Structure formats: structure tokens, C-alpha cells
Chain A
Amino acid sequence: MKTHDDKNFWRSLEELEHDEHFQEALRREFPEGADSSDGFDRRRFLQVMGASVALAGAQSCRWEKTNILPLSARPDDRVPGIPAHYATCFELGGVAQPLVVTSYDGRPIKVEGNDLHGQSNGAASTFAQASLLEVYDPDRSPAPVKKGAESVDMADLEAALVDIRAKHASKRGAGLAFLSHTTSSPAMAELRRALAQQLPDATFTQYDALHRDHELDGARAAYGAPLRSVYDLSKATRIACFDADILGEHPAMVAHARAFALRRRPEGPGYDGVDFADRGETMNRLYCVEPRYTVTGSNADHRLPVRAEQVGAVLAALEAELVKGGLAVPAGSGAANEMPQGSLFAEGSPVRRFVAALAKDLAAHRGASLVAVGGTQSPSVHALAHRINAMLGNVGTTVNLVAEPDGERTNSERAIEELVDRMQGAQVGTLVILGGNPVYDAPRGRDFAKALERVETTIHLSVHRNETSKACTWHVPAAHYLESWGDALAWDGSYCVAQPLIRPIFGGRSALELVGRLVHGEWRDGQQLVREGCQARTGFKSDKAWSKVIHDGYVADSAAPHVNASLRAVAPLSFSGPPVTAGIPTNGQLELVLHGDACMYDGRFANNGWLQELPDFMTKLTWDNAAMISPATAQALGVTTRDLVRLTIAGRKVDCAVYVMPGQAAGTVSLALGYGRTAAGRVGGDADHGVVSAGFDAYALTSDGTIGHASGLQVDKLGTQYQLAMTAEHHMIDASGAKERDGEWLDPDKEGGYPERGLLTAAAIMAFNDESRSRGRVAELVRETTHEKYQGYLAAVEAKGGRAAIAAASHEGGHAAEASSANGHAADQVHGGHGQDKTVHADAADGHGAEAHGADAHGEGGHHDLDPNPIKRFSGPPLLALWQRHSYDGHRWGMSIDLSACTGCNACVVACQSENNIPVVGTDQVARGREMQWIRIDRYFSGDPDDPQVARQPINCLQCEDAPCEEVCPVAATTHSDEGLNDMAYNRCIGTRYCSNNCPVKVRRFNYFNFHKDLKSSDNDLKRMMYNPEVTVRSRGVMEKCTFCVQRVQNAKIKAKTEGRRPLRDGEIVTACQQTCPADAIRFGDLADQHSVVSKAHASERSYKLLEFLNIRPRTAHLARITNPNPALVEA
């Protein structure tokens, strides 16, 4: 790894190579075509509008006559206009995510995490948050459909169900089969018990394309029982992930991110301290070994890109290295692995160096380290990880074993095989499919669709009429989880309940109800079924206890107890041939990795506009997937980004676009699952209605068994290109920064350079230029340093008598301290920067009245010397105010975004979209740079394109103190509030876009079209329901941007006023992005309050302001990322 100072950040390979296309994009104010209005009707724009967003006011001169329809009798707790919050849960992959849903006048409008539950702490994943959009999806199926029949209604279905039950009841249930997603629902478990009693020969199969059953098989091999590993990252100081995405795909990703971030933030969660040592903690260090970038890998301090098939070998090598280092394999667990023989593991190779350093580091942190293996790796690799964790003494500390709910279920892969075999053998008379989409996501080699034809009656319960529904005899509309009763177990095993927020809009039934109907022969009340499940699981009986369960959303202390298991013998792994050979395999022998998508999951979210348009955390691709190929491999294959290629493996083919991905393992081609849907709807693709599928169907490459990785892939270039809507190069801040970097600006000798102004001395300008040249501005945007360097800096401060002493001395002595700067390292380090200004008079930093101006200008960069604090590197001539600065006598809202904590999971982007009624615009518009999300996460690479480092930075409106946007608005539609916000009055905006032009951080978004068209029409009753009534819905021609969730700010203030005009408490106002951040990286509060968390974060030595030298004085402080590289692995 390179040191910070010579780090050059780049966002794409085009930028790194200074490609022509990139240069052009950089210079343009808006992307090519952004100003033209053609292409509006192309692709699926109109369809997207249908499924996505709106509430336009009738802004005519006459009000239309409207009615007020009060309830005939209002329930006691119902206050019109006051949102209610209900706890519920969302099950994905058999694991519940505890949620709290905001209901506005009976309509669910926002999904957030349940802050009472330790698995959520208030945060929710992108999937859980975006699932709200599904409730109001106009593509949902409204009525039962029978194949071949004209029209049917519920009565026909009812009759069919009666027949089916009668037919199978007479045969003890023989021939009746259920197929469901993996579910941990105790209510379903109760129903299955009843099923086993009443129809003992009926079968219940659970299948998920993305499952974690290899993990269970691994535990069986290691412990003899299907145990789940629950990680406690708050105790882990050294974490090694082997193709394991514990911060992304993992079901407990929300809880993991919170615990992981605790040990990435030197000042502690409340920004009270200075460094980890203050609290007796150590910073964690994350190692990742993986074939493609995962969220976890992008956060790693050290990452080793190897092909998926090599991951196990690296783990075996780790064990060999640990044993060599003196650790013993636990008694009775078999012989230790030998170091694999092969060129990949040759003495002195990068892999060997990595493994040796990792082994040493893990061994030094026994009991506080963690080795995790991902879902697609084979059971034997999982078993080996269990042994290594045991060897390192991690079991019981960082790794806790608990019983997997329904752990004895058949492995998903085998289960679907068995079911298909039985269907083919005509042993299934009736197949009831509860949700899911096996026609699309079962391994294609098994041909589930063909097997379906052999079944006499097939019933598919589903929210949408998808590929599977169309192949089934009956399609039954399902109630969404926000419309029905349900339950499931969280990752820690605790019982969570799901309650309906609204009556099923399309009158569907839940899976529990349908199974209950077939088991008991009558429709049973969903709540009753769930209550029976709860009672069976937790023993709760009384109504009072049940009320509490519904209120809390879960049962306290119901987490699964930790199991003490003894390790069994684990067979050593054996490797030979390609897996242990270094280098890129020949075309035809490449590795294919199929993985769950960070936006689509297994494809079930394909009709969700929020998720389709959510830029992928690494590629920044929207609306598409693409084959990821490493730069070296792409060069060998002669392909580049946007090229269409044909992937062929075992005779199966898919044509798809290429994305050249830095950091991808050489020889691995990865393609995300979940795209290429043909019956998703108007967003994700609908062949029947001519809607082109979003992305390419990766399932077409699956043959049989495992959906994961396989070798033998052939890549053939097709010679054409494909438009990919990528946001990575949108909203680039550097158009002028590039000039500056190249020294075109501020050159006193150059004609048209800065004129002689007295203030800007030639020397100062030249110094500034040198600085600019040597660093470049992109490096100024995202800043990071190593923990070691940061500690050194803090120690130097300490040596000078602590911060207070230095602050006092430098405050009195002024520039005197500079004299000793050559030797007095520490004094210089803190001199002049924000640090001491903030400590001494914390209110000066934002310009507190006229008297503070001098100090303020100084604090904002008036120090000529370069601040040796590696994070605050801005230097230059003093910055003076052009206008009278704002003064404040009340609140001064501010935000801090901690880059050290942020994992780049995208949860904030969805939260913002949901809270602020942000439209979805479609792939064509995104390609033109017209995406509307108010918060974006910039992703930067640095270093070697084949093994880069990644940094990321969420950017929303910085609410600049001297905001360039405000100065150019001709109609004062954007103005400064007396609490420091850049207000946007949408109804005043005339759409000149001057503000966006003048915005240095490019956070303003323009409504090129009326994305909320025809909202008043009765066709759009459904769409209207999902808007947040607290936020204006913007129309065409209006500029919009982040407002720091001003509606939440105002509501909290009003609440405080009505409660006896009490002062606001710190933390009472929570913005939507902050609320859902799993890592707690975003903080919001009052900068006028010195004791607020956000003030403390701003005062941190790590805090810096974006584009400080432009004198815009942002109210958002970014806190530099601290990395923790292993000194043994850092290149000299």
C-alpha cells in the first residue's frame, strides 16, 4: 500500500488514463444530452413513472372544491396529521429485520429500523426500506388468475382449494407439495406441525437461490450440528473475511456495520474522546480475500483479490501458517492443512506475504479475532474456518454458535433437486408455491418450468404475477408483508412479529393464511395463526403479553442461547491444478462467479424503481448488471467497459455488457443475479407488454446444483456496445479543479491570471499553486490517513502539554508559534487550523457576528504554513468574505459524515428517496446525468488498478455558509435561513439552473420533466398514497436538493414549543439518512451547542470541510477516514 501523501484518487479507469471521453465529461457543465428533451419517451420512462412516484398541487388561481371526510368514529389513538409508528419485521433469506414503519393517516409511508432491537438499532437495509414501494406498485396483481380461463374470482379459487384439500386429505396428503422461501417463521412452523398431523404425506420444501446452507453443512462437518455463527464484531480487533460479505450481503449486516464502525472511529461513538486508547480499545483491522468487490472488501485495510475457487486454498494456507507460527490444531479435529503447492503460493509471492502477515496478526489477537467465510464457498471451507476460529480461541467471544432455526431442513440446492425429480416423476399432484419465483431463479439445468407442466395443479401465491405465476394453473394475489400478520426470527434468534399497517390493497392473502386454509380447511385469522406461533416459540399467553409483543415488535430476551459444541475432525482440504496456479487462465477456462445483487437481491426486487435506480456501491451502475472483469483480464480478452460479450459456460450462454472493474480477481468474471426479468412489471421488464428487461439474466448460466462459482467460462466479444447508465462520473466536482491541478489558474505571470490585488502576494500564489499541483484537488475531497500516523500526530500534541495548553499558547502567541515550526512539530501541527479555534471559542468557527470575522477568516485557512495535520492540508492566502457574513443567535444546524465509519451500503440513499418524495427517472435519464437522488456516495480508487484501495464519500448538500447557489438565484428561490440552512422554496423556482451551475459540489438536482405527472387523476390514487405529506412534491422545471430534512427539523421544533416551549435536546432531530445509517456515520445537530455530538465531531482533529479554499464554508464536516494497515504489508 502506498502512503497517503502520494496517493492519487481516481473514480474510474477512464479518469486514471485521462481518457478523451473523460476529459470531455469533466469539462462539461452537464453531461452530454442533459439539455435536450428528446429521448424522453424512449425505453421505459413512462412505465417507470407509473410505478414510482407524486402529489402536485393544483396551482391554479381557483381552488377546486375539496371535501373533508372525517371518520364516523375516530379511534382513541388516532390524530389526523400525526404519524403513528408501528413495529413490524421484514423477512429476507429466512432472517427477520426488525422494523418500525411510519403510518400517516393509515398509509405506511416510511420504513425504518426498530431502535429497540439490537439487530437494528434503528437502522434498516436498503431492501427493507425500499420494500415500501412494493405496497403501492400498480403492477401488483389485483385478482386470482387461472391459466386458460377468461376471468375468475375468489369464489372460483375457493372452490378449487376445497377440491384440492378434499383430494389430498383422502390420501393423507400424498401428492401435495409446498414450496416456500426459506423461512424462520414460528407460525409457519406451527402450521407445518399441524400439516404433519393432518396430512402426514404432504411435503414442505424450502428454496432460496441465495442461501446460507453451505454454512450449515460446514457446521455439521465441524460440530456435528447445523449451527449458526453469530459474530460479535464489537469484540473483534482482527477480522479476516474469505469471500464473506459481512457488511453487505450478510443477513446481520446492519448489526455488523454498527459494531464494526465502533472500532473505526477513534473518538468513540459520541465523539467524546480523541483516540481508541482513551477508552482502552484498539482499532480493528479488516482483511479480505475475495474474487470481486463486496461491501466488506471495499472497506478492507488489506484485500487480496483471488478467484473464488482459490479462496479455500488461501484459508488452508492460513492454517498452515498459523500452525507454523506455533498454534496447534485443537485436539481431535484432524490433521492441519499443509501449505498448498502451486505457483500462487510460491515462496515470496504476494499471497504468501499476505497469508504470513495475516497469520501473525491473528495469532497475536487470539480471542479477539474472527475468520468468516461466505455463503457460496463449499462446506469444507466453512468447516475449516470453524477450526481456525477454535484454534484462535474466538469461539465464545467473537464467534457465538447458536442453533439454526429449522436447521434440519434440506439444503436448498438438494431440496429443489428432489422436488423437481418428484415433479418429473409425477409424484406431485398439487404444488403450492408460496411466493418466490422458482421458474426464474431455480438452477436452469433442472428446468423447473418443464417440471411444472407435469404437475396437475399448481398454485402460486405472489404479490406480482411473475414468471412462475404465468407457468402455474392458479395465481393467487398475495398480501404484502406490510399488509398482513407474520413473524420470523432475527439473526440472533429473537422472535419478531410482523403486523399489518394497512388492509391488503388488492385483497391478497398471506402465505400463512393460505397454508392455514389447506391445513385446517378454513381461512383462519392471520393474527391468531401468528399468536399461536409466538406462544409455541416463547410461551407468551396473556393478551397483555401479546400487546407488548406487538408494541415492541419482538420478544425481549428471546435470542437463541449460545451453544457449547465440541469440534470434530475436519478433513484437510486438497488443492491441485488451476486453483493454486497464479496468473490468468486462458479464455474458456475463466472463472464465473454468480452472486446476489446489492440492489436486486435474487431478482425479487426487480420491479422496485428505487432499487433499480440505486447506484451499485462499487460500479455505480443503475438499471443494469454487467460482467465484471479485471483490467488485466480485460486487456487479455481485448474487451472494455460497455462492450457486449457472450459468456458461455457448459453450453449455456448469455450476452451481456462488460464492466472493467479494478480490484476484480484476475481470471474471474462475475455477474450479478436478479436482472433480465421478463415478467417483473413495468420497471424491471415485462415481455408481454414490450417492456425491455433491466439487465441480463445471469440465471441462464446456471446448470445444476450450486449457484456460485464455476470454471470453464468462455468470453467472446460481440463487437457491439451497450449503454450502461453509470453515475460514477456524474456530478464531478473537478471541472475547475482539473485546471487548478494543472496549474492553469492563479499564475501571476500568466495573462488573465489573478490580478495584483495586494492581498494575494506572488509568493503566496506560487505556494498555493505548488500545493495544488502536488496534491490535486480530488485528493482534497476525500481524505484519509493511517491510524499509525494519526496516533503519532496526537502523541505530538500530547507531548506539548495537551490540546488545551497548545490552544491557549497559540491563541496568545499568535504567529509566534510558527517561528519554531521547523523543530516544534506538534505546535505547528495544530496551529492555525480549526482545532484550536474550535476549542477556545467553538462558536467562532461559523462566524458569530461581526467581531468574529477576523478570527474566522483565519480559522478557515488563513494560515500560510501548511498544516502538517495530514488531514487538514489546505493552505493558501487568507480567505476573506465578499459579503457581510450571516450572524446567528439561535440554532446553527450542522452535519458530520464520518468516512471512517461509512461502509458505503447505500441505506442513506434509499432513506432519503423515501423521506423526500424523490422521483425515479429511468435508465435513459440516468445516462444523461439526470438522476435525482439528493445524497450520492462517491467512490474513489487509488493505487494499482488491479489491486486498488477504495475510499468513499457520501455527499449531500453541504448547506454552505457562503453558498454560491444563493448568490446567483435571480428569484431568491434559494436563500439562507437564520438557522444556517440553504432553504429551497420550490414554488418560487423558475428553473434557470444557475444555482446548479454555481454549486461546487454538484448536489442540486433538476426536474427536467414532470416525474409526478397526473397525480390528481383517479388512476393515480395508489401512487398518491405513498408520498410523505410533510414534503412538497416538486414539478417540472424546479430545482431541488437536500434540505437537511427541514421538515423533521421544523416538526421537532414545533413539538418542543407545544410541550411548554422547552429547549430542543441534542439528538432530538434526526435526518432520514442519519436515522438509517447502520454505521452511525452521519450526525446532525446544533453547532451552536458546544456539547452536541455534531459540534464534537466538527471539533475532531479528523474533521475537514470540502473545497475549503473556495471559501464556501460548508456546514457539513467530513471526518477523514482512518485506515489501519498492517505495517508488515505496507510497501516500503
Chain B
Amino acid sequence: MFHFPSWTLTLRDLSGLVAVGALLYVIVFVWFGFSPKTTDVGYQPHQPVAYSHKLHAGDLGIDCRYCHTTVEHAGHAAVPPTATCMNCHSMIHTESPKLQLVRESASTGEPIPWVRVHDLPDYVYFNHSAHLAAGVGCASCHGRVDQMEEVHQDKPLSMGWCLECHRNPEPNIRPVSEITNMAYDPTAHEGLGAELLAERGIAPKQNCSTCHR
């Protein structure tokens, strides 16, 4: 007859330890894995130039696309070249110490080292132009940038969050003319989202290859 050898008794004693360890592991995993630090919600790095979106996009009402010119045509919503800043600031606040770096960049040609706020993993592909063409507004993913003094990440940008909208885009669809309207609330226009989806044949894909390629 088979008997467990005596050393297996130690295993029995150890199993309690393993159970506690596993529990700890789960807690730590959830703690870190689901924390906003991981998803980076609220991430607000300090930028080299104290540029205020609140002032420019909010108070002054400059359209997002004045600076982020490529957003409708390219995957990137490119950060503007220094020359864009200088369009105005060669005439306004030409002596402001806050703009010292901008003026330097314009004269030397060295880029301003902006810090990336919204960062996706390298194995994810995201395209701004496709989303704009479908009628997803800037605010849907970036939040009320027009109220941010310094930009922070407003949404988790996690796969689950992406899929939420790809599965049910209706609450986030707006007329293309309202794309950059920060104050526009798609949920306030009942039925319009569904109408737009049907009218323009928008059916977001949930294939792996839609984003992973």
C-alpha cells in the first residue's frame, strides 16, 4: 500500500504559508494593477513651458486644431512646432519670461522638450484621424482640456476602457462639426448618437488587429 513519505508532512505545514502568500499576492496585484498610478489617470507631468490650455483653449477659445493641425489627417495629433507659438507670440508678450524657452527654440531651432502625457504601449496602435472622422470628440478621451491649467491624463486609456466605447459608441458620438467643442455633451442629445451611427454607417471593430498589429 502506498503511504505518503514523512517529509510530505512539512509540505502540509507549508501549505498554510503558501495560502497566505497567495492572498498577499492577489492583494498586491490588485492594489498595483488597478491603481490609477498604473493606468496613469491623473498623471500630470510638469512641462518645460508653463503653457496653459485653460487660457488658450478655454478663455481665448482657440480651436484645438489651430495647434494640433494634423489631428484630422494623421494618427498623431502632433504637438505643434515652436513656429506655431510664434505666430502670436512674436507680437504678444514678446518679453514674457515664461516664454523664454519658446523664443530660444524659435531662434536656435532646438525643439522644446515637452513631456508626453498620454502614452500608449508600443503594441497598441491608435489613430486620431479615424476617431475624429467617426465623430468622437476630443473631450471624450482627453477630458475638459479647456479647463486644465496644466494637462493631466483624464481617462484610464486601458483596453477595457477602449472596448467600452467600441462596443457601445452611441454615448460618445457627436456631429463632426462639434468635434472640438469641449462643452458639448453627447449624452444630452438623446437619440442623436444612434442616428449618427446609422446615418454614417459607423460600426467600431473589436478585432484584435484593429489596435494590435
A interface residues with partner B (beta carbon < 8 Å): 55-59, 61-63, 65-74, 79-82, 975, 977-979, 981, 983-988, 1030-1033, 1043, 1046-1047, 1049-1050, 1054, 1057-1058, 1061
Docked complex Cα distance between A67 and B75 (Å):
18
**CB–CB B213/A74 < 8 A:** no
Q: Is B80 an interface residue (CB 8 A)?
A: yes
Q: Which residues of A contact B33 (CB under 8 A)?
A: 61
A985-B111 contact, Cβ under 8 Å, with A66-B116, A1058-B133: no
Residues on the A chain within 8 Å of B119, using CB:
63, 66
Could you list 29 A-B pairs, sorted by A, with CB under 8 Å?
Answer: A61-B32, A61-B33, A62-B38, A65-B115, A68-B113, A69-B113, A69-B114, A70-B111, A70-B112, A72-B82, A72-B108, A72-B111, A74-B81, A79-B70, A81-B76, A82-B74, A975-B207, A977-B207, A977-B209, A981-B207, A983-B207, A983-B208, A983-B209, A984-B209, A985-B212, A987-B212, A988-B212, A1061-B200, A1061-B201
Known: A61-B33, A62-B37, A67-B115. 8 other contacts (CB 8 A): A57-B121, A61-B32, A63-B40, A72-B82, A73-B109, A74-B78, A1032-B122, A1058-B130
The verdict on B192 contacting chain A, using a C-beta distance below 8 Å, is no
Complex Cα–Cα for A65 and B113 (A) = 11
Chain B interface, number of residues (Cβ within 8 angstroms) = 50
* Contact (Cβ within 8 A) A70 B81: yes
A67-B116, A987-B212 known; A59 vs B121 contact (CB < 8 Å):
yes
Nearest CB on A from B78, distance (A): 4
Instruction: Find out whether the CB atom of B125 lies under 8 angstroms from the CB atom of A1030.
Output: yes
A1030 CB → nearest B CB, Å:
7
Query: Which residues from B are CB-within-8-Å of A975?
Result: 207-208
CB of B172 within 8 A of chain A?
A: no
- Max chain B Cβ within 10 angstroms of own Cβ: one of A68, A986, A1030, A1033: A68
Residue of B nearest to A1035 (CB): B123
Rounded to whole angstroms, the CA-CA distance of A82 and B76 in the bound complex is 9
**Within 8 Å CB of A988, what residues of B?**
208, 212
Report Cα–Cα, A984/B108, bound state, in Å: 45
Closest to B212 in A: A985
| Nearest A-chain residue to B78, judged by Cβ | A80
Report yes or no: A1057 in contact with B134, Cβ–Cβ below 8 A: yes
Whether A67 and B114, one on each chain, are in contact in the complex, defined by CB atoms closer than 8 angstroms, is yes
Minimum CB–CB distance from B72 to chain A (whole Å) comes to 7
Report how far A987 CA is from B213 CA in the complex, Å.
10
Residues from chain A with a CB closer than 8 A to the CB of B74 are 79-82
A interface majority secondary structure: loop
List B contacts of A71 (CB < 8 A): 81-82, 111
User: In the complex, A31 Cα to B37 Cα: how many Å?
Assistant: 45
Question: Could you tell me which residues of chain B, from 94 to 129, have a CB within 8 Å of some CB in chain A?
Answer: 105-106, 108-116, 119, 121-123, 125, 127, 129
Q: A68-B79, A80-B76, A987-B212 are in contact. Are A1058 and B116 (CB under 8 A)?
A: no
Q: How far apart are the CA atoms of A739 and B130 in the complex, in Å?
A: 51
- Cα A988 to Cα B208 in complex, Å, equals 10
Q: Per-residue 0/1 for B183-213: is the Cβ within 8 Å of any A Cβ (1 yes, 0 no)? A: 0000000000000000011000101111011
Looking at B110, B121, B132, the one whose CB has the most chain A CB atoms below 10 A away is: B121
Query: In the bound complex, what is the Cα–Cα distance between A191 and B208 (angstroms)?
Result: 56
Structural contact, A74 and B83, CB atoms closer than 8 A: yes
A69 partner residues in chain B, CB cutoff 8 A: 111-114
- Inter-subunit contact B208/A1050 (CB<8 Å): no
- Residues on B with C-beta less than 8 A from A82 are 70, 73-75
B106 to chain A, nearest CB (A): 6
CB <8 Å contact, A1050 and B121: no
A69 CA / B114 CA spacing, docked (Å): 6
Is B61 part of the binding interface, using a Cβ–Cβ cutoff of 8 Å?
no
Q: Confirm or deny: B42 has a beta carbon within 8 angstroms of a beta carbon on chain A.
A: no
Q: B45 contacts the other chain (Cβ, under 8 Å)?
A: yes
* Residue-wise interface mask of B (11-52) relative to A, using a CB-CB cutoff of 8 A (1 in contact, 0 not): 000000000000000000000110001101001010000000
Nearest A-chain residue to B76, judged by Cβ:
A81
Please give me the residue from chain B that is nearest to A66 by CB atom.
Answer: B116
Contact partner, A68, options B114, B129, B209, B213, Cβ 8 Å:
B114
Q: Is the CB of B207 within 8 A of A72?
A: no
Complex Cα–Cα for A70 and B78 (A): 8
Name the one of A57, A68, A1049, A1054 contacting B115, with C-beta atoms under 8 angstroms.
A68
Contact B72 A981 (CB under 8 A): no
Give the docked Cα–Cα distance between A72 and B114 (Å).
12
- Chain A nearest Cβ from B162, distance in angstroms: 13
A978 vs B204: C-alpha distance in the bound complex, in angstroms?
11
A1043, B130: Cα distance in complex, Å: 21
| A987 contacts B130, C-beta separation under 8 Å | no
Instruction: Name the A residues within 8 Å of B213 (CB-CB).
Output: 1030-1032, 1043, 1046-1047, 1050
Cβ distance B25 to chain A, nearest Cβ, rounded Å: 15
Contact of B208 among A61, A62, A977 (CB under 8 A): A977
Contact A81–B113 (Cβ < 8 Å): no
Find the A residue at minimum CB distance from B86. Answer: A73
With A63-B40, A1050-B210, A1057-B133: A70-B114 Cβ-Cβ less than 8 Å: yes
Asked whether A1050 lies within 8 Å of B125 as measured between CB atoms, the reply is yes
Report whether B78 and A81 are in contact in the complex, using a CB–CB cutoff of 8 Å.
yes
A66 vs B72: C-alpha distance when bound (angstroms): 24
Q: CB-nearest residue of chain B relative to A82?
A: B74
Query: Residue B70 contacts which of A68, A73, A81, A1049 (CB distance < 8 angstroms)?
Result: A81
In the bound complex, what is the Cα–Cα distance between A736 and B123 (angstroms)? Answer: 36
Complex Cα gap A20–B74 (Å): 57
Asked whether A72 and B37 contact (CB < 8 A) given A977-B208, A985-B212, A1043-B209, the answer is no
- CB of B209 within 8 A of CB of A981, answer yes
A55-B122, A81-B75 known; A70-B82 Cβ under 8 A: yes
Question: When chains A and B are docked, how far (Å) is the Cα of A68 from the Cα of B38?
Answer: 21
Complex Cα–Cα for A985 and B43 (A): 27
Chain A residues with CB under 8 Å of B72's CB are 1058
Tell me how far the C-beta of B85 lies from the nearest C-beta in chain A, rounded to whole angstroms: 10
Chain B residues within an 8 Å CB radius of A984? 208-209, 212
| Chain A residue contacts of B80, Cβ below 8 A | 70
Q: Tell me the bound Cα distance from A1049 to B213 in angstroms.
A: 10
Q: Which A-B residue pairs are the 6 nearest by beta carbons?
A: A57-B122, A977-B207, A69-B111, A983-B208, A81-B76, A985-B208
| B78 lies within 8 A of A79 (CB) | yes
List B residues 121-175 near A (Cβ within 8 Å): 121-123, 125, 127, 129-130, 132-134
The smallest C-beta distance from A440 to any residue of chain B, in angstroms, reads 41
**Chain B, Cβ-Cβ closest to A55:** B122
- Report which residue of B38, B43, B114, B208 has the largest number of chain A beta carbons within 10 angstroms of its beta carbon: B208
**Which residue of A is nearest B33, CB measured?**
A61
The answer to whether B121 and A68 have CB atoms under 8 Å apart is no
Query: What residues of chain B lie closer than 8 Å to A70, measured between beta carbons?
Result: 78-82, 111-112, 114
- Assess whether A80 is in contact with B70, with CB atoms less than 8 Å apart: yes
Taking CB atoms, residues of chain B closer than 8 Å to A985 are 208-209, 212
By a CB distance below 8 angstroms, the chain A residues around B114 are 67-70
Residues of B within 8 A of A66 (CB): 115-116, 119
Nearest residue, chain A, Cβ from B111? A69
Which chain B residues border A1050 with CB–CB below 8 Å?
125, 209-210, 213
Given the known interface contacts A79-B74, A978-B207, the answer about A56 and B111 at a Cβ–Cβ threshold of 8 Å is no
Q: Once bound together, how far apart are the Cα atoms of A1032 and B120, in whole Å?
A: 13
A1058 / chain B contacts, CB cutoff of 8 Å: 72-73, 129-130, 132-133
Question: How many Å lie between the Cα of A988 and that of B159 in the bound state?
Answer: 12
Q: Are B109 and A72 in contact (CB under 8 A)?
A: yes
Whole-angstrom CA separation of A65 from B115 in the bound complex = 7
In the complex, how many angstroms separate the beta carbon of B44 from the nearest chain A beta carbon?
12
Residues of B within 8 A of A73 (CB): 81-83, 106, 109
Which residues does chain B contribute within 8 Å of A1049, judged by CB atoms?
A: 209
Residue of B nearest to A1047 (CB): B213
Name which residue of chain A comes closest to B122, CB basis. A57
Kindly identify which residue among A58, A1046, A1054 contacts B129, using a CB–CB cutoff of 8 Å. A1054
Instruction: State the Cβ distance, B158 to closest chain A Cβ, in Å.
Output: 12
Considering the chains assembled together, what is the distance between the CA atoms of A99 and B199 in angstroms? 43
Measured between C-beta atoms, what is the minimum distance from A1029 to chain B in Å?
Answer: 9
In the bound assembly, the distance between CA atoms of A513 and B105 in angstroms comes to 33
